């Protein structure tokens, strides 16, 4: 029996407009209209400019910069719920506060859990997100979470470069699972083995690394660093420099979320990196840096939305 797709609309917040537009083009639908009015004291109000009664509402919004865009998402969820939407699905390409996923020292908050609680309390029925900093964040929600991965998008681009002697490098022990997934996708596309090495790093404090060592053979190799977030780019550029010093032929990096705060752009421009490849989970103007390449992800989100609407398997659709 053929199941008809439920009616739905896609809306965007301030940090999701460009991606939402491409998702709608992929799906062949019009983007919904929402008005976000800002006041002089810093507050803002959200109002949907068309009916959402009885339909599934997809709200595209990354929470970076974190605070305002998170609050904007919460207000959109609340507005959709109060306007009698059938389902409210938060599409969060970049889930901010994700690095605060545990108590790593006494008397600290777990920001990722708090964000999950607020999103649920606002009325979200489901969350779609890309490359969470830690897989366990899915367990902070009591609603369905579709955790998507950009590794296939990265693998297609890296494979198209025609590089020889490829090696994938994990920037730390925690990133080995992500790097291994990229290795497997590259092996499928290139039909050859792609080894992985690990960078062991010691931090003085957040965004400051004291030492990095490379565990594995990179002599004469084309190395691809794989990570989920690039913030100030200090660790990334330092790792790239050490990899180059250890005899690598070239160094590239694939990063799911280009936060790129503070001195990041200048550091990347002056680094030994051939290029930094990021996704469009956070909007970025490529003209700001000659070494940064942005890959689009609308097909990933479009396929998942289609699967949800038609009640088919998400894993089989990707």
Residues labelled catalytic:
201
Closest CA to 182 of 196, 161, 201: 196
Spell out a b/e string for 24-40, using b for 16 or more CB atoms within 10 Å of the CB, else e.
bebbeeebbebeeeeee
- Which value, to the nearest 10 degrees, does the dihedral of the CA atoms of residues 48, 52, 53, 56 take? -140
Q: Write the DSSP symbol of residue 6.
A: P
Contact 202, 211 (CB under 8 A): yes
DSSP 190-258: HTS---EEEEEEEEEETTEEEEEEEES--TT-EEEEEEEEESS-HHHHHHHHHHHHTT-SEEEEEEEEE
For residues 221 and 108, what is the distance between their CA atoms, to the nearest angstrom? Answer: 42
Omega before 65 cis (within 30°)?
Answer: yes
Q: Write the DSSP symbol of residue 143.
A: S
Tokens for 250, please give them: 């070239």
For residues 6 and 306, what is the distance between their CA atoms, to the nearest angstrom? Answer: 10
Tokens for 47, please give them: 């109002």
For residues 105 and 102, what is the distance between their CA atoms, to the nearest angstrom? Answer: 9
For residues 64 and 251, what is the distance between their CA atoms, to the nearest angstrom? Answer: 27
Q: Tokens 């020292």 correspond to what residue?
A: 105
């Amino acid at each position: 029996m053929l199941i008809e797709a439920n009616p739905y609309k896609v809306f965007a917040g301030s940090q999701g407009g460009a991606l939402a537009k491409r998702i709608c083009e992929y799906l062949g639908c019009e983007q919904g209209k929402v008005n976000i009015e800002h006041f002089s004291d810093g507050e803002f109000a959200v109002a949907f400019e068309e009916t959402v009664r009885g339909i599934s509402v997809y709200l595209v919004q990354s929470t970076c910069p974190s605070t305002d865009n998170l609050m904007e998402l919460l207000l959109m969820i609340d507005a959709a719920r109060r306007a009698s939407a059938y389902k409210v699905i938060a599409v969060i390409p970049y889930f901010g506060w994700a690095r605060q996923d545990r108590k790593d020292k006494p008397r600290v908050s777990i920001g990722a859990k708090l964000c999950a609680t607020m999103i649920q309390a606002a009325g979200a029925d489901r969350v779609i997100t890309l490359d969470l900093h830690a897989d366990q964040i899915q367990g902070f929600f009591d609603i369905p979470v579709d955790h998507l991965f950009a590794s296939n998008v990265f693998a297609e681009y890296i494979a198209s470069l025609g590089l020889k002697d490829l090696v994938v490098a994990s920037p730390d022990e925690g990133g080995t699972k992500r790097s291994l997934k990229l290795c497997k996708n590259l092996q499928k596309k290139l039909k050859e083995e792609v080894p992985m090495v690990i960078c062991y790093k010691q931090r003085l404090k957040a965004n400051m690394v004291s030492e990095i060592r490379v565990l594995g053979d990179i002599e004469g190799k084309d190395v691809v660093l794989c990570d989920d977030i690039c913030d100030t780019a200090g660790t990334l550029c330092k790792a790239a420099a050490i990899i180059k010093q250890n005899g690598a032929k070239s160094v590239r990096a694939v990063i799911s979320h280009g936060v790129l705060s503070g001195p990041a752009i200048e550091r990347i421009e002056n680094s030994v990196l051939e290029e930094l490849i990021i996704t469009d989970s956070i909007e970025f103007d490529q003209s700001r840096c000659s070494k940064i390449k942005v890959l689009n992800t609308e097909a990933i989100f479009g396929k998942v939305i289609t699967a949800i609407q038609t009640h088919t398997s998400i894993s089989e659709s990707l």
